[in-house]
Amino acid sequence: MRIRNKHAVLRTRYYTLNSDKESYYYSLLVCHLPFRDESSLLLDEETAESCFLRRQSELRPLQANVNPEEFAHAEQIIQQALAQATALHAARQTLPTDHEGLLCADDEVLININDNGDDNGERIIMPNDVFINSIRGLNIQQQNLFQKVSVAVEADLNGANDQLLLFITGGAGSGKSYLLKLLVEHIVRCYAPTVDSLLKPKFVEVASLTGVAARQIFGKTLHSVFLLPIEKSNSMSYKRLSGNKLEQERRRWRHISWLIIDEISMVSYENLRIIHLRLQEYKNNDRLFGGVNLLLFGDIMQLPPVKGNWCFLQPSWFAAEINLWHQFSFCELTINMRQQNDVEFIELLNNLRVGELTTSQLQLLCERRRIPLTGDFADGVAVRIYPTVKQVDDYNDLMTTENSKVHKTYAITAVDESREVATYGKTPPPN
């Protein structure tokens, strides 16, 4: 225990009516109603909103010509303006880089993020001090990229007609996901004051090809955002939207100026082209990608598309069209932020990424094959990763057999309720 030499500042969490209605009303009750026991504030099974409406006569009345909802709305507008000013000022500054204070992708930058996948509009998800410290923690490459995007954001806010198409790549641990989340926060802060919050506008869409990858960045799948066709063959047909669905998407995309796609290596050129055409529909704009600013994150040295061509290889049957990939600028992050103190491991990862392992590095990897599969690495304790589905099925069958010797097992017959003609309503064959 030590004596504090400076006065502490009492900090409380800030709630708004749009972000968390229950906590918003409860904070008003706690602040403006006298009580001896906090549990006595609410009746049994009563919500904070209901209690607030029931006891609002006990609160200090406002002037007759003042609407409390207008006060709350004005307060939110002021908060958004302050957040925008903080973001623009932080981005304009040339901030020193302190490598010892760097945050990792799973540190403070992720706090208070609501991963519900809905479209209830954008809201600020970081306190100002965390946001500023996150920017200060960027290395020089990340900082240059952040400022490049910030300049484009500010130009767009000032009415410029420029469009930023940028591909950001780098090896594992280079901070791509960390930077992506910080850019999303920056964009939300900068655009929030431009549209009335009562409209619940959305300014940036974040997506990835798979559900797991989308969840990591608190986004959605590309198939749900752009209604991509299911890739059952190498050919994918594009169908234009019409009617209510098109009108609904145009309303949703009315204020969206930025699209961020992660794990671009898994996105085929055919899907990239459909995204381009779909954005032209959503925005009713014939420019590339409907005039939306587009950031692509990923490492093309990693997983390829399951179907179709690489995102950077335009198929010959699209040769008469503009090459979409050639319209993107390139930015590479080369500083490893995950294994900063292990130079040997960093060099091994970088060489493995491009297929240029040295003899000593290959020997180091081969040594890991001789680890006995006991203790922490025994079956049922450590996760096994195999390159083929057959090997995975064989191992799962083996573990199921072993577990059945010590645990009672139950066989459940599944019924396929999908709409696929080949399997609808059928049961799997007996083992």
Domain range holding 255? 75-333
Residue 61 lies in a domain: no
Considering the domain architecture, whether residues 226 and 320 belong to the same structural domain is answered as yes
Considering the domain architecture, whether residues 361 and 247 belong to the same structural domain is answered as no
Write down the mean pLDDT value for the chain. 81
Residue 429 lies in a domain: yes
Considering the domain architecture, whether residues 242 and 285 belong to the same structural domain is answered as yes
Q: Which two tokens stand for residue 357?
A: 């392992």
Quote the CA–CA distance of 119 and 117 in Å, as a whole number. 7
* Residue percentage of the chain with pLDDT more than 70: 82
Asked if the model's pLDDT at residue 37 lies above 70, the reply is: yes
Considering the domain architecture, whether residues 327 and 402 belong to the same structural domain is answered as no
Residue 64 lies in a domain: no
Residues 6+ apart with CB under 8 A from 419: none
Higher-confidence residue: 90 or 249? Answer: 249
Residue 376 lies in a domain: no
Instruction: Evaluate whether 186 touches 87 at the Cβ level (below 8 Å).
Output: yes
Considering the domain architecture, whether residues 362 and 420 belong to the same structural domain is answered as no
Give pLDDT tens digits for 304-353. 888 888 899 999 988 899 999 999 999 988 887 776 677 788 788 888 88
Considering the domain architecture, whether residues 309 and 402 belong to the same structural domain is answered as no
pLDDT tier, 422 (very low <50, low <70, confident <90, very high otherwise): low
Q: Write out the DSSP string of 291-324.
A: G-EEEEE--TTSPPPSSS--TT---GGGTTS--S
Asked if the model's pLDDT at residue 267 lies above 50, the reply is: yes
Considering the domain architecture, whether residues 152 and 212 belong to the same structural domain is answered as yes
Considering the domain architecture, whether residues 363 and 234 belong to the same structural domain is answered as no
Beta bridge mates, 45:
none
Considering the domain architecture, whether residues 241 and 287 belong to the same structural domain is answered as yes
Q: Which two tokens stand for residue 122?
A: 């954008």
Asked if the model's pLDDT at residue 119 lies above 60, the reply is: no
Considering the domain architecture, whether residues 344 and 328 belong to the same structural domain is answered as no
Quote the CA–CA distance of 391 and 398 in Å, as a whole number. 11
Question: Is the whole-model pTM more than 0.85?
Answer: no
Considering the domain architecture, whether residues 227 and 366 belong to the same structural domain is answered as no
pLDDT tier, 286 (very low <50, low <70, confident <90, very high otherwise): very high
Instruction: Evaluate whether 149 touches 91 at the Cβ level (below 8 Å).
Output: no
pLDDT tier, 96 (very low <50, low <70, confident <90, very high otherwise): very low
Task: For residue 155, give the DSSP letter.
Answer: H
Q: Give the mean model confidence (pLDDT) for residues 100-124.
A: 44
Q: Under the phi-then-psi rule, with left for phi > 0, alpha for psi from -120 to 50, and beta for the rest, what region is 355?
A: left
Considering the domain architecture, whether residues 132 and 186 belong to the same structural domain is answered as yes
What pLDDT is attached to residue 178?
Answer: 87
Provide the 10 A C-beta neighbour count for residue 314.
Answer: 20
Instruction: Evaluate whether 177 touches 105 at the Cβ level (below 8 Å).
Output: yes
Give pLDDT tens digits for 47-75. 988 988 888 877 766 566 667 677 777 77
Instruction: Evaluate whether 331 touches 166 at the Cβ level (below 8 Å).
Output: yes
Residue 245 lies in a domain: yes
SS3 content of the chain, % helix, strand, coil (to 5): 45, 5, 50
